[in-house]
Structure 1
Amino acid sequence: MSAQVSDGSFETEVLRSDLPVLIDFWAPWCGPCRAMGPVVDELAEEFSGQLKVLKMNVDENQATPSKYGIRAIPTLILFKDGEVLEQVTGAVSKSSIKEMITSKLG
């Protein structure tokens, strides 16, 4: 399972993380976000120990999505050492996300 992150914990959980971080920006009312939820949870299990997978509710946390220019959800951003490596918006296949992760972290 992926864990939740907030504006308040973002710096510690994401920017200062020893592991790379995949963060899913989502909202409960968003159909594509709900569809992506199980995929993101599966990725969290598959990359356990190699990648931290977190979710941020954009309705409850508005500062961080605004800072990273998120205008549509779901948006997934891959961070490493506090820097954005890759970003993808919309409901995409699990294989596409895995390829993004392995190509950037491989």
Structure 2
Amino acid sequence: MEVKVLDFTGKWCSTCIVLDKILESEVIPKYKGRVEFAKIDIEEKENLAEQHEILSVPTLILLKDGEEVWRKSGSISKDEVIKKLDEAVK
């Protein structure tokens, strides 16, 4: 089973900066070795943003074995991310 989180972000996005700090300090360490995290700047990787139909940032996409199982844009709480990741890694 492969679990990935795609974190679509922008350098100019204040909500993205807050979310990324939470992910880096509290979420990513908790799932090290079990979940792969990819931070994707939508301006640097426009093709990926288009491929995943990103309309706003931040957007998190949770993939399980290559299939999207959850997506959330805008304000995202640490607890919500952890709940979804716990479900995915079971």
Q: Once superposed, which parts of structure 1, at least 4 consecutive aligned residues long, lie more than 3 Å away?
A: none
Taking structure 1 as the reference length, the TM-score comes to 0.78
Sequence identity of aligned pairs in percent? 25
Number of matched pairs:
89
Structure 2, unpaired ranges of 5+: none
Rounded to whole Å, the distance in 2 between the matches of 1:62 and 1:32 is: 19
Show CA shifts across 1:36-82 (max 9, x none): 01111121111011101110000101111111111000000011221
Report the equivalent of 1:102. Answer: 86
Bigger RCO of structures 1 and 2 (CA < 8 A, at least 6 apart): 2
Rounded to whole Å, the distance in 1 between the matches of 2:83 and 2:2 is: 18
Compute the displacement of 1:104 (Å). Answer: 3.1
Q: 1:31 aligns with which of 11, 14, 21?
A: 14
Q: CA RMSD in A?
A: 1.3
Report the equivalent of 1:56. Answer: 40
Compute the displacement of 1:105 (Å). Answer: 3.0
Taking structure 2 as the reference length, the TM-score comes to 0.91
Structure 1, unpaired ranges of 5+: 1-17
